[in-house]
Structure formats: C-alpha cells, structure tokens
C-alpha cells in the first residue's frame, strides 16, 4: 500500500510484546517504509572504524548509552545520506568562532546545526523531507525523554505507537518458551507445543529453557522498560502523536496498527 505522507514513526513496547514482528509486517505492507536501527548503525560505524564508531565503541561494550550528540549525528547523517534531510540555505547565525575556522577544520553541516541547536539558537538549517518515500520506523531510538527532545529539533516524529499486551500474557508466552539449542528451533507450550513434551520434534533431543526466559528475569526487564518508557510516552502524548494499540497477540495487534497507519498516512 502506498503512503501519501511521510511517516516518521517509533514503536514503543515492552520486551516480548513483538515489536520486531510488527516492524517486519509494517515494512511488508508499506514498502516505502524503511527501518532505521541505531544499534545496527552504531555497529557499522564501529566495524568501519569511523571517528564516531571509535568514540562510541567503549560505551557500547560496557552496555551504556552512547552520548546524545553522537546519536544525533548518527541519525542525521544517515538521513542525509538517504537524501531525507535537507539544508535550507546557509545557517542564519554564524558565530565569530565558526567563521574563523580554517579550511582544514571545516566542519560538516550537521556539526554546525547541532552546535546551534545545543546552544538553543532558533536555527533550523536541516529539515526532514515530507516526501512519502522518506518514511521510516526508528528502531532503538529515542530511548528516553532527553533523546526525544533532542531529536525533535531535527526529525519531528509524527507517530509514536505504544504496543500493549497484558503483562501476564507476555509472561506466559515467555515462560512457555522451549528451545532446541543445536538447531535454534523454538516451541511454546501454549500455542506451538512440541509433539512430545520437552523433546525436539525432529531429533527427539531434549529442549531447554533459556536462562533469561524466567518470570523473575522478565519481571525485572519489564520494570526497567516501564520506568524508561513512561517519560518517553508522555513526551509524545504532549506532542499529540501518541497512539496506543492493544492486543493479546501479534495477530490481533497488526490489523489495528495498519488502520492507524492508513488513517494517518494514506487517507
């Protein structure tokens, strides 16, 4: 289905709710959508030993959050490379110091934009394209209200979807998950049970439960998610772009999600 307006979307959902599944389905239904994953972009930068990748590497290794200015730079250069971020003439405000820099220190437009943005100057040299082909789902960003705020200056998100499935339902799904480790085959005692309990259908070998797939671990992850996502959702609610989509399963959520997209970006 063709989009008529640019969709700049984030999906927010607790671990296990099926964000990845919904992303994949949306990309299939709306071929103009792209998925932009900050985790993937960061890993590519690390692999290619770019200055940004080198700066981000140690933080990523320790599991921390990469600094805000780097994340903004990462996203905006990705959008710029895709031709989805445009400059509108030269920056309106040039400080003495930025005029005085020598050619060898020439900075890219993103840096200048960020400096102005960080300094709170009312300058918007870059603007997200409104062309429907410049449509994307951001994966992994923003993660908190501070990141959402910074992103707003460059790429205004026009739809934030909160995916909701009752806690007990997700917990049951996770607690019912059994894996055949050598092949990676995954079973679920509630909706995809092995023919013989505890045994792989093909080899008959024993199934195991992943150490993370326990109620205790899931509760802790869920709690952490809620704490982090609440201010994020609040941010988008204030902007008037937050929609909640609830369902007991991915198949129940998908059609509702398609409707939301069609109402906003197709009709």
**For ligand ADP, which is the closer residue by CB, 66 or 126?**
66
Do the annotations mark residue 21 as ligand-binding? yes
Tally of residues, the chain: 267
The structure tokens listed for 196 are: 């013989």
Sign of CA dihedral 115, 116, 120, 126: negative
Q: Rule CB under 6 A: is residue 71 a binding residue for ligand ADP?
A: yes
Give the interface segment with ligand ADP, choosing from 28-36, 95-103, 140-148, 243-251 (CB under 6 A): 140-148
- Side by side, the strands of the sheet bearing 242-246 are 33-37, 135-139, 8-13, 159-164, 242-246
Do the annotations mark residue 263 as ligand-binding? no
According to DSSP, residue 206 is labeled B
Q: Rule CB under 6 A: is residue 60 a binding residue for ligand ADP?
A: yes
Question: Left (φ > 0), alpha (ψ -120 to 50) or beta: where does 18 sit?
Answer: left
**For ligand ADP, which is the closer residue by CB, 60 or 217?**
60
Residue 185 to residue 174: CA distance in whole angstroms: 15
Contact with ligand ADP (CB under 6 A): which of 84, 136, 141, 222?
141
Burial of 5 (0-12, 13-18, 19+ CB in 10 A): middle
Do the annotations mark residue 133 as ligand-binding? no
Q: Rule CB under 6 A: is residue 150 a binding residue for ligand ADP?
A: no
Contact with ligand ADP (CB under 6 A): which of 5, 29, 82, 143?
143
* Minimum distance, C-beta of residue 118 to ligand ADP, in the bound complex (Å): 17
Cβ atoms of residues 213 and 178 within 8 Å: no
**For ligand ADP, which is the closer residue by CB, 52 or 207?**
52
Do the annotations mark residue 159 as ligand-binding? no
Do the annotations mark residue 147 as ligand-binding? yes
- Residues comprising the binding site for GTP? 16-21, 177, 186-187, 250
Summarize as ranges the residues that interact with ligand ADP (CB under 6 A). Answer: 38-39, 42, 59-60, 63-66, 71, 140-141, 143, 147
């Amino acid at each position: 289905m063709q989009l008529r307006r640019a969709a700049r979307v984030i999906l927010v959902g607790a671990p296990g709710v099926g964000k990845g599944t919904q992303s994949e389905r949306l990309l299939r239904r709306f071929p103009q959508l792209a998925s932009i994953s900050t985790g993937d972009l960061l890993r590519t930068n690390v692999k290619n030993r770019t200055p940004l990748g080198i700066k981000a590497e140690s933080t990523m290794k320790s599991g921390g959050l990469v600094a805000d200015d780097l994340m903004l730079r990462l996203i905006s250069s990705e959008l710029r490379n895709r031709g989805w971020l445009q400059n509108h003439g030269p920056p309106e405000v040039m400080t003495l110091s930025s005029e005085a820099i020598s050619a060898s220190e020439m900075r890219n437009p993103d840096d200048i934009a960020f400096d102005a943005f960080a300094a709170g100057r009312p300058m918007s040299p870059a603007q997200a394209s409104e062309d429907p082909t410049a449509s994307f789902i951001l994966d992994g960003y923003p993660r908190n209200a501070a990141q959402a705020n910074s992103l707003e200056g460059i790429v205004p998100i026009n739809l934030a979807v909160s995916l909701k499935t009752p806690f007990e339902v997700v917990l049951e799904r996770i607690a019912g998950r059994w894996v055949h480790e050598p092949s990676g085959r995954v079973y679920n005692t509630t909706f995809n049970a092995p023919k013989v309990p505890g045994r792989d259908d093909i080899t008959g070998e024993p199934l195991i439960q992943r150490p993370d797939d326990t109620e205790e671990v899931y509760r802790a992850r869920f709690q952490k998610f809620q704490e982090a996502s609440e201010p994020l959702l609040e941010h988008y609610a204030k902007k008037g772009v937050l929609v909640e989509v609830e369902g007991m399963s991915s198949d129940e959520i998908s059609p509702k999600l398609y409707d939301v997209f069609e109402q906003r970006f197709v009709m």
